[in-house]
Amino acid sequence: MPVQYTSILDEHRAVRTKAGIFDISHMGQFFVSGPGCAAWLNRLLTNNVEHLAPGHGQYTLMLNDQGGIIDDLIVYRSGEADFFLVVNASMVEEDFFWMAAHQDPDIVLRNESALWAGMAVQGPQASALFAATCPDLPLPPPKGYATTAAGAIVSRTGYTGEDGFEWFCPAAAGPAAWNQFIAAGATPCGLGARDTLRLEMCYPLNGNDLSPAHSPIEAGLGFFVDLDKPAFIGRDTLVRHKTAGTTVKLSAIQYTGTGAPPRAHYPVLADDGTVLGELSSGVLSPTLMTGIGMAYLPTRFSKLGTPLQIKVRERLFPATVVKKPFYKPQ
């Protein structure tokens, strides 16, 4: 598929003001079916899939035995005993191995990642663009999910904070769908713009902000954990973190002025020069035109307004802990 990309700044602004399209064909697609599959998924995931009606999805996390995050994903319920999971590209094999290792005999688990193409159309004009290209198919409600007569899957989800949808179709149909959405007005966007967009919303990135070293409570994702449901993998750690508190917290950090763009792994220092940790993510925000990032900070340094410093190539830039997210869509 020939693609004419522009700059990250132009792509970012296109999503914030109009509509952009991202190639997400590298994401993983799992299908789960069989009697008792909802209960089985509930033992593997932090959110409660029993709350899902057919045609709806939810954000959730898969944990190791210690409560650390293996992956974050979206699970959609397509029927009483049928689910569709979208997992992170870098975690397809590990996720599938982990799920298969805990698989019940009556559960059918299929990894069809190589069979699907995926794309995400995001932005204020995404709904109108969908109506123009798919006039016979109503756009699902937020977090909704539907299957077309041709076998494509459309979900009202995304990773930018803007309205939009994700489109999954058989791999051979991918180029035609991509070109159709671009012809309707979507600007092709790359992973650089996707990173600036998601970070302005404080959406975590697996492998950067999420890892087996940290729990969802430390990452500030307790809303997607149901501690009231029956036991699930990693629950004991989460109960402890919820009741006793955590020693670190994933915090939003923003420059108080201008400075060199912050990046992942740049040191984060207290105002007195004590090293507190490092950025898990960092960019120059195209919307705010200043440096933003996230880092796991000792809890007492995670309070809003705490002065910090970011070290960039031996230079220190003043910053502060701010409220999430950095940007709120209009």
pLDDT one-digit tens code per residue, 53-109: 999 999 999 999 999 999 999 999 999 999 999 999 999 999 999 999 999 999 999
The C-alpha atoms of residue 123 and residue 300 are separated, in whole angstroms, by: 37
**pLDDT value at 230 more than 80:** yes
Average pLDDT of the chain is 96
pLDDT digits (tens, 9 = 90+) for 10-68: 999 999 999 999 999 989 999 999 999 999 999 999 999 999 999 999 999 999 999 99
The C-alpha atoms of residue 71 and residue 210 are separated, in whole angstroms, by: 8
User: What one-letter code names the amino acid at 102?
Assistant: H
**pLDDT value at 5 more than 80:** no
The Cα angle at residue 28 between residues 63 and 214, in degrees rounded to 5: 25
Residue 242 CB contacts under 8 Å (≥ 6 apart), including other chains: 217, 222, 227
pLDDT at 6: 72
- Cα distances (angstroms) measured from residue 249 to each of 17, 55, 215, 312: 32, 34, 10, 22
**pLDDT value at 174 more than 80:** yes
The C-alpha atoms of residue 283 and residue 167 are separated, in whole angstroms, by: 28
Q: Please, what are the domains in the chain?
A: 8-199 (3.30.1360.120), 247-322 (2.40.30.110)
pLDDT at 23: 96
Closest to 104 (Cα-Cα) out of 29, 30, 28, 33: 33
pLDDT at 2: 52
Residue owning tokens 């979900």: 155
The C-alpha atoms of residue 85 and residue 22 are separated, in whole angstroms, by: 19
If one counts every other C-beta atom within 10 angstroms of the C-beta of residue 36, the result is 12
pLDDT digits (tens, 9 = 90+) for 185-209: 999 999 999 999 999 999 999 999 9
**pLDDT value at 330 more than 80:** no
**CB 225, CB 238: distance < 8 Å:** yes
pTM above 0.75, yes or no: yes
**CB 180, CB 186: distance < 8 Å:** no
**CB 268, CB 317: distance < 8 Å:** no
Query: Residue ranges of the alpha helices (H) in the chain?
Result: 8-17, 37-44, 92-101, 126-133, 174-183, 191-200, 235-244
The C-alpha atoms of residue 293 and residue 310 are separated, in whole angstroms, by: 10
